[in-house]
């Protein structure tokens, strides 16, 4: 029988989605499952974005330009200017989600066997994108004890080799919820400048920062504009995950011209989704203020309830809507499967994402899970109580 590729065999499973068959078994038993495993917001999509698709006047659903429509890219540039990021439409390529932007970035700046340094834990699909691109992830470990702050710069420096082409961060972070400070961004800027590397920043959670903290973009650092690549998306900002619209942003013309060739190979981003995303840019600040207040309440509720559980440690996030939780278990993969397969509390259980899949260092994060606090507060309280009772039974 013909064999699949080595690359295909090496592609990692999603730690977020691999437990779906066990969740389906729980549903078949009639159980309620609280989904803490996936960052699918329950916040309503801005009505203007939905209406724009309903009332479009297109007669033909045609291709757009490979880099995205001129009008949409111009409006994205206007959006960035409000966030003190100085770019033009020529610095932007619209992509099919932030995922495609990352694939274009990897393909544009790295060859097979090149290396990219990423603070871990990190968004699990970075492992998949690197495998698909033939690129080696070199992790630098951040720790729950200091809320997953940026590791010391000398730890990055130790890992730089002739094969190193870039450093990748997610800010605010998925899965940690950590928000890098202006000082931390400046430290990264200095090292990429010193070693002539790219700094790639996944900034899809830019709007979601808490406790009076502000997001500081890598492209606000004028000294590294040629080194900087932003990955962005409408998915979480406007609760439009299904639109699959993102973008790659860089003032480095070689990067943009190279990424455009990848964009041309897949023809164009989806037309109707660009119409919706363009309309979403008109969303008033009051929308984000309300969403931020809601997520702060949810975060505070979740952290408070988790801290009541014996043996549990939780990192308090300052952005996005995720947190890493350390549990009194040896293997959170086994525990997460057991929750769905063998446990319920009055017909209810929870689905979590085992955190080992957010690391590339083997046997790391085995006792951790990622929780997405994208549920109503009442559901988060119930979910935390289910976890409390489940841990008692699992460890007995």
Angle 262-267-273 (CA atoms, 0-180°, nearest 5)?
110
Local confidence band at 18 (pLDDT 50, 70, 90 cut-offs): confident
Q: Determine phi and psi for 102, rounding to 5 degrees.
A: -65, -45
Same domain, 96 and 175: yes
CA distances from 269 to 100, 106, 133, 274 (A): 10, 18, 21, 8
Local confidence band at 242 (pLDDT 50, 70, 90 cut-offs): very high
Are 54 and 40 in contact, with CB atoms under 8 Å apart? no
Q: Above 80 in pLDDT, residue 16?
A: no
CATH number at residue 355: 3.90.1150.10
Domain end position, chosen among 280, 305, 333 = 280
Same domain, 195 and 326: no
Same domain, 81 and 169: yes
Same domain, 158 and 202: yes
Q: Give the burial class of 346: count Cβ atoms within 10 A of its Cβ; 0-12 exposed, 13-18 middle, 19 or more buried.
A: exposed
Residue 369, pLDDT score: 97
As for how many domains the chain has, the answer is 2
Nearest-CA neighbor of 301 among 285, 311, 314? Answer: 314
Same domain, 21 and 130: no
Residues 195-218: what's their mean pLDDT? 97
Structural domain includes residue 1: no
Structural domain includes residue 98: yes
CATH number at residue 271: 3.40.640.10
Report the SS3 class of residue 255. Answer: helix
Are 83 and 276 in contact, with CB atoms under 8 Å apart? no
| Residue 296 CB neighbour total at 10 angstroms | 13
Structural domain includes residue 302: yes
Structural domain includes residue 359: yes
Residue 345 is given by DSSP the state B
pLDDT 10s digits, 327-364:
999 999 999 999 999 999 999 999 999 999 999 999 99
Same domain, 276 and 146: yes
CA distance 180 to 148: 10
Domain end position, chosen among 239, 255, 280 = 280
Are 317 and 172 in contact, with CB atoms under 8 Å apart? yes
Same domain, 58 and 38: no
Tell me which H or E stretch contains 78.
helix 70-81
pLDDT 10s digits, 261-312:
999 999 999 999 999 999 999 999 999 999 999 999 999 999 999 999 999 9
Same domain, 324 and 266: no
CA distance 372 to 350: 12
**Letter string b/e over residues 364-392, b meaning 16 or more CB atoms within 10 A of that residue's CB:** bbbbbbbbbbbbeeebbebbbbbbbebbe
Residues 86-113: what's their mean pLDDT? 98
Locate 312 and state its tokens.
């549990």
Same domain, 258 and 348: no
Structural domain includes residue 34: yes
CA distance 175 to 205: 11
Same domain, 264 and 351: no
Residue 21, pLDDT score: 93
Structural domain includes residue 315: yes
Give residue 281's region: left, alpha or beta (phi > 0; psi -120 to 50): alpha
Same domain, 132 and 276: yes
Structural domain includes residue 165: yes
Nearest-CA neighbor of 142 among 176, 124, 119, 117? Answer: 119
Same domain, 275 and 201: yes
Domain that holds residue 10: 6-44+286-394
DSSP readout, 104-162? HHHHHH--TT-EEEEEES--THHHHHHHHHTPEEEEEE--GGGTTPPPPHHHHHHH--T
| Percent of the chain residues topping a pLDDT of 90 | 97
DSSP readout, 29-68? TT-EEEE-SS----SPPPHHHHHHHHT---SS-----TT-
Domain end position, chosen among 222, 250, 280 = 280
Rg (CA), the chain: 21
CA distances from 359 to 88, 125, 167, 344, 365 (A): 35, 11, 16, 29, 7
């Amino acid at each position: 029988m013909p064999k699949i590729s080595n690359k295909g065999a090496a592609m990692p499973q999603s730690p977020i989605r691999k437990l779906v068959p066990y969740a389906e078994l729980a549903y078949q038993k009639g159980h309620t499952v609280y989904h803490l495993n996936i960052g699918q917001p329950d916040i309503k999509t801005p009505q203007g974005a939905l209406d724009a698709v309903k009332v479009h006047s297109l007669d033909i659903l045609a291709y757009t330009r490979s880099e995205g429509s001129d009008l949409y890219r111009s409006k994205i540039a206007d959006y960035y200017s409000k966030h003190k990021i100085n770019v033009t439409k020529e610095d932007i390529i619209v992509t099919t989600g932030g995922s495609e932007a990352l694939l274009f970035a990897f393909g544009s700046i790295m060859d097979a066997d090149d290396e990219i340094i990423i603070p871990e834990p990190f968004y699990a699909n970075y492992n998949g994108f690197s495998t698909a691109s033939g690129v080696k992830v070199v992790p630098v470990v951040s720790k729950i004890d200091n809320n997953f702050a940026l590791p010391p710069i000398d730890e990055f420096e130790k890992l730089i080799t002739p094969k190193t082409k870039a450093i990748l961060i997610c800010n605010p972070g998925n899965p940690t919820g950590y928000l890098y400070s202006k000082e931390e961004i400046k430290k990264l800027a200095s090292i990429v400048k010193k070693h002539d590397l790219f700094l790639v920043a996944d900034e899809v959670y830019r709007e979601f920062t808490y406790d009076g903290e502000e997001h500081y973009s890598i492209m606000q650092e004028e000294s590294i504009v040629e080194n900087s690549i932003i990955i962005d998306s409408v998915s979480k900002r406007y609760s439009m995950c299904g639109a699959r619209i993102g973008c790659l942003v860089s003032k480095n013309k070689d990067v943009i011209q190279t990424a455009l060739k990848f964009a041309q190979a897949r023809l164009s981003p989806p037309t109707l989704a660009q119409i919706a995303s363009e309309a979403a840019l008109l969303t008033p600040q009051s929308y984000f203020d309300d969403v931020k207040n809601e997520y702060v309440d949810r975060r505070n509720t979740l952290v408070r309830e988790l801290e009541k559980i014996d043996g549990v440690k939780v990192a308090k996030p300052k952005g996005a809507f995720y947190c890493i939780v350390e549990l009194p278990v040896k293997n959170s993969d086994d525990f997460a499967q057991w929750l769905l397969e063998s446990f319920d509390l009055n017909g209810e259980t929870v689905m979590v994402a085992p955190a080992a899949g957010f690391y590339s260092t083997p046997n790391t994060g085995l006792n951790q899970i990622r929780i997405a606090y994208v549920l109503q507060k009442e559901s988060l309280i119930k979910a935390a109580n289910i976890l409390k009772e489940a841990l008692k039974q699992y460890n007995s």
